[in-house]
Structure 1
Amino acid sequence: MILLVDVGNTNIVLGIHDKDKYIAGWRISTDSKKTSDEYGIQVSQLFHQFGLDMKKVEGIIVSSVVPNIMHSLENMIKKCFNKEPIIVGPGIKTGINIKYDNPKEVGADRIVNAVAAFEIYKKPNIVIDFGTATTFCGITEKGDYLGGCIVPGIKISADALFERAAKLPRIELEIPETVICKNTIKSMQAGILFGYIGQVEYIVKKMKEEMKRKCKADPIVIATGGLANLIAKETDVIDIVNGDLTLEGLRIIYNKNKE
Structure 2
Amino acid sequence: MMLLAIEQGNTNTLFAVHDGAEWIAQWRAATEASRTADEYAVWLNQLLAMKGLRFEQLTGCIISSVVPQSIFNLRNLARRYLNLEPLVIGENVDLGIDVRIAKPSEAGADRLVNAIGAKLVYPGDLIVIDSGTATTFDIVAEDGAFEGGLIAPGINLSLQALHEAAAKLPRIAIQRPDKVIGKGTVEAMQSGVFWGYVSLIEGLVGRIKTEWGGPMTVIGTGGVASLFEGATDSIDHFDSDLTIRGLLEIWRRNAHLTD
Per the TM superposition, whether the score is higher than 0.5 is: yes
Task: Measure the CA separation in 2 of the matches of 1:19 and 1:250.
Answer: 13
> How many residues are treated as equivalent by the alignment?
255
Residues 4 and 58 in structure 2, CA contact (< 8 A), matched pair in contact too: yes
- Once the two structures are TM-superposed, the CA of residue 80 in structure 1 deviates from its matched residue by 0.6
- Once the two structures are TM-superposed, the CA of residue 209 in structure 1 deviates from its matched residue by 1.7
- Once the two structures are TM-superposed, the CA of residue 94 in structure 1 deviates from its matched residue by 2.0
Find the residue that maps to 2:182 and give its secondary structure. coil
Deviations 1:91-141 (A, max 9, x none): 322222101211111111100000011122132100000011111100111
Task: Measure the CA separation in 2 of the matches of 1:151 and 1:251.
Answer: 27
Q: 1:157-168 maps to which residues of 2 (within 5 A)?
A: 157-168=158-169
User: Which sections of structure 1, spanning at least 5 residues, go unmatched?
Assistant: none
Residues 123 and 141 in structure 1, CA contact (< 8 A), matched pair in contact too: yes
Is 2:255 the partner of 1:258?
Answer: yes
TM-score calculated relative to the size of structure 2:
0.96
Task: Measure the CA separation in 2 of the matches of 1:90 and 1:201.
Answer: 36
Aligned to 2:40: 39
Is 2:235 the partner of 1:234?
Answer: no
Residues 118 and 124 in structure 1, CA contact (< 8 A), matched pair in contact too: no
Aligned to 1:218: 215
Deviations 1:179-208 (A, max 9, x none): 111111000001111111101111111111
- Once the two structures are TM-superposed, the CA of residue 13 in structure 1 deviates from its matched residue by 0.2
Find the residue that maps to 1:32 and give its secondary structure. coil
Residues 45 and 54 in structure 2, CA contact (< 8 A), matched pair in contact too: no
Task: Measure the CA separation in 2 of the matches of 1:112 and 1:11.
Answer: 16
Aligned to 1:185: 186
- Once the two structures are TM-superposed, the CA of residue 45 in structure 1 deviates from its matched residue by 1.4
Give the % identical residues: 42
User: Which sections of structure 2, spanning at least 5 residues, go unmatched?
Assistant: none
Residues 95 and 143 in structure 1, CA contact (< 8 A), matched pair in contact too: no
- Once the two structures are TM-superposed, the CA of residue 210 in structure 1 deviates from its matched residue by 2.1
CA RMSD in angstroms, aligned pairs only? 1.1
Is 2:51 the partner of 1:50?
Answer: yes
Amino acid of the structure 2 residue aligned with 1:223: G
- Once the two structures are TM-superposed, the CA of residue 90 in structure 1 deviates from its matched residue by 5.2
Task: Measure the CA separation in 1 of the matches of 2:149 and 2:91.
Answer: 19
Task: Measure the CA separation in 1 of the matches of 2:198 and 2:91.
Answer: 34
Aligned to 1:249: 246
Amino acid of the structure 1 residue aligned with 2:253: K
Find the residue that maps to 2:23 and give its secondary structure. strand
